[in-house]
Amino acid sequence: MKTALLERETAPAVAPRGPRRGGARGRLLTVLLLGPVAAIALWAAFPLLEQGHWIALGVLAAATAGLFYLYLSPRHVPAKYLVPGTLFLLIFQLFPVLYTASTAFTNFSDGHRGDKRDAVVAIQTASVTRVPGSAEYVLTVATTGDPATGPLSFLVTDPATGRVSAGTAGGLRTLPPGEVTVNPAGRVTAAAGYTVLTGGQAAARGREITGLVVPTAGGAIRSQGLTRAYEGRAGRAYDEGCDCIREAATGKTWTADDGRGAFIAADGERLAQGWRVGVGLANFTRLITDPAISGPFARTLIWNLIFALASTGGTFVLGLGCALALHSPRMRGRALYRTLLVLPYAMPSFAMLLVWRDMFNTDFGLINNLSGLGVDWFGGATSARIAVILVQLWLGYPYMFLVATGALQAIPAELSEASKLDGAGPWQSLRRVTLPLLLVALTPLLISSFAFNFNNFNAIYLTTDGAPFAADNPANGATDLLITYTYRLAFGGSGAQYGFAAAVSVFIFVIVAVISVVSFRRTRRQEEVYS
């Protein structure tokens, strides 16, 4: 604050000296804002450089240079104002949308997250088993050179015989007992020609230790931590020749299927570790053709529309009613009422939804206990639907009340007075004068409220979670919205299916976009009529 004041005082003295607009303050601001830009660019550049993402690096450099040019040159004034917003739009809106859309064409899901190399590594690692009857070696990591950089050796002690061997990638050789000192736990404390690594030295070279494989007749000795080693054998290995995984013991092969991103055997058996591949329109095809999904789709869509309309319309009517009542100057204690009305809006809806769910409990819920009704609220389709809409009303009307109050105050009082003089009753005045003017201001809000409620995941997930479910259909409940229904399909079953979920998102996006575009078109026409 202080510096800002100082600047304001000094600014006029400096400004006349510089010929350009903005003066020192503007320049200072430019520098202060471009500094972080440079810092962020530098911060982002190093990881990109290290991992060799050249295209991304080029984009980063071009974007940074562009920003610097734009704000250091006196020209392109409109662009100076437009660029930040556009940039944020790209990063926070367009990028997620494009990423979602691109994911929709892949099989990205549990078991298909990484690339093929990851899958092969996972399969091979998971198949390494201890050679039956082999020794449980005690491991000491040593080197023949410098502890930090010298070539590593495994000094392994067989606890049964006390014999110590030295292992490298070249193989295993037994050390003469006179050359090594072994402590009671079996660990080597000194060996001729070797430097024993301390715990910290060994830990620092953990990656090399894990990577060191000492070949033996029966398999290979690998480390298990820093103090133990075992002789293991990989049961399955990748064979580049046939692009398949071969099991050593049985000779069975699983051939890579790059269309499905999995290794599949001739008998149809599929290895669990797969990889991510493009699947074209398969996710969309499944959405449309799978009878389990498309069957209840129409019913869910209709209820979803009713839910969104009832939530939006109900809260609007209730909120507007309250706003009109409190708009009248004859009303006393308006401030108090307004504060009370806004309360539900001030509470976190997340917690409120859970509270409402418990209030609707058949035996222990507040609603049944107070009213003595004994209704199984979430047990019947109609009562469950009424219940969730009631909850939505309670949660949503304060918002509508707030915006309607604001819009009402913006309508000149002369208009309603004029209509009164012309002989209009209060109802007619509301319907013919106030409401049309209100709607011009509020329709965009109503549309966005509709779009929000259309995808109001929490409102259902935290209350009924789709209940009640018919006994013959555990996948689709009476209060399920498209978003909760597809969430269950994509994440409730066999792990997370991001590709499929993305396809569903694209689909819902299209539905909401169409409804919104149509509504906005109509609003524009309406505006033309009234303005």
Partner 1 sequence: MRTKAIAAIALIALAAGCSSSGGDKPGPGSSAPAAGGKLVIWGDDKRAAALKPFAERFGQENGVTVEVQAISKDQQTTFVTASQQGSGPDVMVGAHDWIGNLVQNGAVDPVQLTAAQQEGIAPNALKAVTFNGQVYGVPYATENLALIRNTKLAPDAPATVEDLVATGRKLRSQKKASEILCLQVGQNGDAYHLYPFFTSAGGYLFGRTAAGDYDPKDLGVGKPASIAAFEKIRKLGEKGDGALKRSITVENSIATFTAGKCAYLVSGPWAVTDVKKAKMAYDVSPVPGFAGGKPAQPFLGVQTFYVAAKGKNKALAQEFVTNYVTAPELAVALYEAEPRPPALTAAFDQVKGTDPDLAKFVDAGKNAVPLPAVPEMATIWDPFGKAESAVIGGADPKTALSAAAKTISSQIK
- Residues in 391-430 that interact with partner 1 by CB under 8 A: none
Output the CA torsion sign for 342, 343, 347, 350: negative
Among residue numbers 211 through 250, which ones bind partner 1 (CB under 8 A)? Answer: 223-228, 230, 232
Q: Say if CB 229 and CB 156 are below 8 A apart.
A: yes
Distances (CA, A) of 405 to 188, 312, 327, 328, 435: 82, 17, 7, 11, 12
84 is a contact residue toward partner 1 (CB under 8 A): no
Q: Say if CB 156 and CB 191 are below 8 A apart.
A: no
Take residue 233 and report the two structure tokens written for it.
């054998």
Residue 187: DSSP 8-state = -
Q: Nearest approach, Cβ of 385 to partner 1 (angstroms)?
A: 14
Among residue numbers 436 through 495, which ones bind partner 1 (CB under 8 A)? Answer: 464-475, 488, 492-495
Of the listed pieces 30-38, 404-412, 418-426, 443-451, which binds partner 1 according to CB under 8 A?
Answer: 30-38
Phi, psi (5° rounding) for residue 425? -75, 175
Q: Nearest approach, Cβ of 344 to partner 1 (angstroms)?
A: 22
172 is a contact residue toward partner 1 (CB under 8 A): no
Single out the residue of 46, 54, 69, 95 in contact with partner 1 (rule: CB under 8 A). Answer: 46
Single out the residue of 8, 43, 97, 522 in contact with partner 1 (rule: CB under 8 A). Answer: 43
3-state secondary structure 315-331: HHHHHHHHHHHHHCCCC
Of the listed pieces 237-245, 305-313, 325-333, 362-370, which binds partner 1 according to CB under 8 A?
Answer: 362-370
Single out the residue of 9, 240, 267, 363 in contact with partner 1 (rule: CB under 8 A). Answer: 363
Q: Nearest approach, Cβ of 110 to partner 1 (angstroms)?
A: 6
**Residue nearer to partner 1 on the CB measure, 43 or 88:** 43
Query: Which among 226, 229, 199 is positioned nearest to 213, based on CA atoms?
Result: 229
Q: Nearest approach, Cβ of 69 to partner 1 (angstroms)?
A: 12
Q: Nearest approach, Cβ of 4 to partner 1 (angstroms)?
A: 19
**Residue nearer to partner 1 on the CB measure, 147 or 313:** 147
Query: Which among 123, 403, 396, 65 is positioned nearest to 274, based on CA atoms?
Result: 123
**Residue nearer to partner 1 on the CB measure, 257 or 376:** 376
Based on the number of CB atoms within 10 Å of its own CB, is 284 exposed (0-12), middle (13-18) or buried (19 or more)? middle
Q: Nearest approach, Cβ of 245 to partner 1 (angstroms)?
A: 14
**Residue nearer to partner 1 on the CB measure, 55 or 335:** 55
**Residue nearer to partner 1 on the CB measure, 222 or 323:** 222
Single out the residue of 63, 301, 342, 496 in contact with partner 1 (rule: CB under 8 A). Answer: 496
Q: Rounded to whole angstroms, how far apart are CA atoms 467 and 475?
A: 10
Q: Say if CB 481 and CB 392 are below 8 A apart.
A: no
15 is a contact residue toward partner 1 (CB under 8 A): no
38 is a contact residue toward partner 1 (CB under 8 A): yes
Q: Nearest approach, Cβ of 113 to partner 1 (angstroms)?
A: 5
**Residue nearer to partner 1 on the CB measure, 161 or 494:** 494
**Residue nearer to partner 1 on the CB measure, 205 or 395:** 205
Vertex 351: Cα angle to 348 and 353 (nearest 5): 105
Q: Nearest approach, Cβ of 156 to partner 1 (angstroms)?
A: 14
Which residue's entry shows tokens 């792990």? 495
261 is a contact residue toward partner 1 (CB under 8 A): no
Single out the residue of 7, 11, 15, 27 in contact with partner 1 (rule: CB under 8 A). Answer: 27
Take residue 335 and report the two structure tokens written for it.
């401030």
Q: Rounded to whole angstroms, how far apart are CA atoms 418 and 412?
A: 10
Q: Rounded to whole angstroms, how far apart are CA atoms 430 and 45?
A: 61
* 393: CB partners within 8 A, 6+ apart: 311, 314, 315, 318
121 is a contact residue toward partner 1 (CB under 8 A): yes
508 is a contact residue toward partner 1 (CB under 8 A): no
**Residue nearer to partner 1 on the CB measure, 451 or 460:** 460
Q: Which amino acid is at 234?
A: A
Query: Which among 91, 89, 86, 53 is positioned nearest to 70, based on CA atoms?
Result: 86
- The distance of Cα 469 from the centroid of its chain, to the nearest Å, equals 28
Q: Say if CB 272 and CB 126 are below 8 A apart.
A: no
**Residue nearer to partner 1 on the CB measure, 457 or 520:** 457
Among residue numbers 319 through 358, which ones bind partner 1 (CB under 8 A)? Answer: 358
Vertex 309: Cα angle to 306 and 312 (nearest 5): 145
Single out the residue of 50, 240, 267, 528 in contact with partner 1 (rule: CB under 8 A). Answer: 50
Of the listed pieces 26-34, 77-85, 173-181, 396-404, which binds partner 1 according to CB under 8 A?
Answer: 26-34
CB 102: neighbour CB atoms within 10 A? 13
**Residue nearer to partner 1 on the CB measure, 110 or 417:** 110
Among residue numbers 287 through 316, which ones bind partner 1 (CB under 8 A)? Answer: 292
* 444: CB partners within 8 A, 6+ apart: 520, 523
| DSSP bridge pairs for 193 | none
Q: Residue ranges of the alpha helices (H) in 15-53?
A: 23-51
**Residue nearer to partner 1 on the CB measure, 102 or 125:** 125
Q: What binding mask, one character per residue, do residues 179-218 give for partner 1 by CB under 8 A, x or -?
A: -------------------xxxxxxx-xx-xx--------
364 is a contact residue toward partner 1 (CB under 8 A): yes
* 402: CB partners within 8 A, 6+ apart: 319, 342, 345
**Residue nearer to partner 1 on the CB measure, 102 or 210:** 210
Q: Nearest approach, Cβ of 519 to partner 1 (angstroms)?
A: 34
Q: Rounded to whole angstroms, how far apart are CA atoms 189 and 163?
A: 14
**Residue nearer to partner 1 on the CB measure, 180 or 209:** 209
